[in-house]
Structures are given as structure tokens and as C-alpha cells.
Amino acid sequence: MMSDMNWLSAKEMSAGFRSGELSPVEVLERSLARIETLDGRLNAMAHVSPQSARNEAEASAQRWKSGKPLGPLDGVPVAVKDLIPVAGMPLRFGSLASKDVPVLEDAPSVSHLRNGGAVIVGKTTTAEHGWKAVCRNDLTGVTRNPWNTECTPGGSSGGSAVAVATGMVALALGGDEGGSIRVPSSFCGIAGLKPTWGRVPLHQPAYCGTWSHVGPMARTVGDLALAMNVLAKPDSRDWESLPDDGVDYQTGLDAGAKGLRVAVSPGLGYVTLDPEVEAAVRAAAGQLSDLDAQVDEATPEIGNPIDPYYILVRLAARALVDSVPGGQQALLVEELRKDAADADNHTAMDVKYAEMEQRRLGAVMNRFFETFDVLVTATVAVPAFGAVDDDPSGRKRVGLGWTGTTYPFNFTRLPALSIPCGLTRDGLPIGLQIVGPRHGDAMVLRAARAYEAAVPGIGRPPID
């Protein structure tokens, strides 16, 4: 256990703390050493706070020694995406138009982690304000994929994915408004969950409103479940956060796939997939069938919701840009400023119709999940591409087609998880997306765990 400490799951760390074989102090020092060794090449961390982390690890060690841990994440090293406030650390949003000063209050999700004893190591890199599905910005530079450093790790939660994939931390928080947890989880070969909207409370303001999510990223599905037991609690600062439903996300996690009704639609009927990606997704669906799930080809009748989705995204861009002092708006990323400008062309009725379409699509998905328990798709249409590109063609984003299987489930507020389902011939991870009905997070985790338990893992990135 000691020699492989960076690769322990959060669950294994917790067991080691309980038995006395491990100490949170030892685990943290290995985490900090790993960051020191790798981050110069990968650029996953926007800010590291070793002294405060050491103080938290020492306090955790004392709690475990006295038999009074705060929960299963007590002492586990965690990193937080730099769009999420952490008291005592700067909140930069990956933007030059930000202040390098510590904030005074944790986001609700971070409060939950602290209340559970997690050790907050630092902040992870992101696309500026999360506005791209890749991970680079003018403040912190380019973040690189540990499976191939010439490639992007995906975004916008790219730094969190890299930190988890390389053993810098056991868990990380990401944010997801159109795929920003699932895309980098797919590209970096880890597991990442976008929970049901409202299940993990948000800090305010959330410019993307009813399709903005915070969720955990980990190397195992079991750790996602462990994290959800800590994160999935309401907070009065988010008046739309869901009440505590009392679900223990570890109960039933290993119930297997037998009897699950699984719909398979690799590209949702409108996304063209790379052949290797499609083959891997279909093979994963076949594995679920071998596990006695009832697997059928079926596509929900949602079409491509990019037009109504993007109307509301542009309005969020307008609000976000307007929140930045006028003299600094020119420092914001071009795509964000362009989306804000385009928002000015929309009428009030454009917005109303987009909101109505969001509700219609949500109802379509509700009806779909009367027949099926989960829906399986590709997470991303392509494997990871160039680290300085915005899309696989090397051009600036052209309709977001390569992330077309992710944003519909932000728009419809559904839980969706990415888990590795293979490697390309070039050794790049491929992600399988598992989607469930609203409030069906435990079902999604169960299906993902059944698949994870039945297939060999893809191994570790070749970065050491």
C-alpha cells in the first residue's frame, strides 16, 4: 500500500487511515510530491496551498487517531476547479480579468468537503470561465493530456481530470455546463459524474442557471459514490438545491447489471462518431448485455437541441461579460465576448421559446426513462486532439458537434457519467457515457460500476 500510495482510491485511503496503516499526513506529502514532479509538464494546478493542506492533514490525522473522523473522505486529498470558490485561495476563473486575492467563503460543495474532513490541496486549471471544452487560457497557459502531452485533456475541467488521472489527488471537483466534467474524464481515462441538477448545490451566481452542475471526478466509480454521499446535501445559499433524499450512494452500488433496461444510442442519432469510438461504445453495450442487462437500440426523440441550448448559453455569456468591469472586458476570451455580443440579437420571445423547448425536451426524456433505466452513448465523438486546438479540425469551435452527446443532458438536467471503455490504437482513452432519469444518480452509478467491475481497466497514463 505504501509504495503505491498515489494510486490508492479514496475508499482505500479511508480504510488505511482507519487501520492506522496510513496517515493523512503521509498521503498529502505524496500528493504534493506528485504535483511537484509532474505539474511542470502537465499544468493541472492553477494554485497549490501546501501549508493550509498540511494543517488540514494534521487535524485529520488527530481525528483518526482519536477515533472521531468526520466521514469517509476525512484526510483524502482533493483538488477543486478554479471556477469554484475555496476560502483562503484565489478565484481566478482562468481569466486575466480576475484578482489574485483570496476569497473569504467556500462554495457549498467545498463546505461539504470540508465538513467531511477532506484535505483541499489547491485549485485546478480550466478554460476561461469554463467557456470551451478544452483546457487552456491566457492566465495559466495550456494544460496537457497525460496519455499524450501533445493532446488536450479536454475541458473545461481539464486540470481536475489530469490531477486525478496522474495520482496528484484521489478526487477532484469539476463543473459541467455542457460536458465539462465528462469530456475531460473521457479524454483522460477517469470516471466523472454530472449529477442531477440541484443534487449538489451551486455557489451563486450560476450564470448558466438550470444547466450548471458541480460533481466529482475520480479513478473509480466507488469513489464517485463515496463523494456523492458527502456532496449531495442541500445548502441554503442555493435556494434551488434539492432536499436531502437520504440516499446512500454506496448501497446497491455492486448490485450488478442484471435486469437493467439499457438503451444504446452511440451518437444520439445526430452525432458522427470516430469509428474507434463507436466500436468501443458498442462493445461496452455488449458487455452490459453479457452481464444480463436487457440491451436495446433506442434513441430518444430529442433531435439536436443545440439551437435552443445556445440561445440560453449566449444570454449567460452576456450576463457574465457584464459582470466584469468595462475596462477589463477586452481581456476575456474571444468566444465568450462573441457569444455575449450575439445575445444582443435575440428577442425576449427567442428566450421564451428556448425555455419552452428545454421543458419539452425534459418531458421527452422523462417519458423515455419510463421504458429504460439508463441510456448509453459515446461521451465524446472523438479521441483527444491537439492541445492548442478548439476542435478536432484545428479550427475554432464550429457548432460543438464533437461534444454533441453531452450538452443535451445538461439541458434536461439529467445525471450523466463518463467511464473509460477502451483505448484507441494510438493509446488514447475512450469514454462511455451512462445517462439516467432525473434523481436516478444511484442507478447511473450502479450501471457504471457493473461495467467497471466486469472489464479490465485501461491502466495508468504513461507519464512517469
Active site residue 81: yes
Q: For the chain, how big is the Rg over CA atoms in Å?
A: 20
Which residue bears the cell 493509446?
427
The three-class DSSP label of residue 46 is: strand
What is the tally of helices (H) and strands (E) in the chain? 13, 13
Active site residue 156: yes
The Cα–Cα gap between 54 and 307 comes to 48
User: Considering 14, 49, 111, 156, which one is annotated as catalytic?
Assistant: 156
With the C-alpha atoms ordered 354, 357, 359, 361, is the resulting torsion angle positive or negative?
Answer: negative
Active site residue 52: no
The Cα–Cα gap between 156 and 214 comes to 12
The three-class DSSP label of residue 141 is: strand
The three-class DSSP label of residue 124 is: strand
Strands 171-176 and 77-81 come out as parallel
Strands 119-124 and 45-48 come out as antiparallel
Phi, psi at 145, each rounded to 5°: -80, 125
The Cα–Cα gap between 401 and 433 comes to 16
- Distance from first CA to last CA of the chain, Å, rounded? 19
Question: Which residues pair with residue 214 across a beta bridge?
Answer: 175
The Cα–Cα gap between 454 and 59 comes to 38
Q: Is the peptide bond before 156 cis (omega within 30 degrees of 0)?
A: yes
User: Considering 9, 14, 23, 81, which one is annotated as catalytic?
Assistant: 81
User: Considering 49, 109, 180, 265, which one is annotated as catalytic?
Assistant: 180
CA angle 153, 165, 128 (to 5 degrees): 35
Give the side-chain half-sphere CA count within 13 A for 368: 27
Which residue bears the cell 475520480?
218
Helix (H) or strand (E) holding 194: strand 191-194
Helix (H) or strand (E) holding 60: helix 50-65
The Cα–Cα gap between 389 and 400 comes to 13
Which residue bears the cell 455580443?
341
CA angle 396, 400, 405 (to 5 degrees): 155
The three-class DSSP label of residue 151 is: strand
Question: Which positions are annotated as active-site residues?
Answer: 81, 156, 180
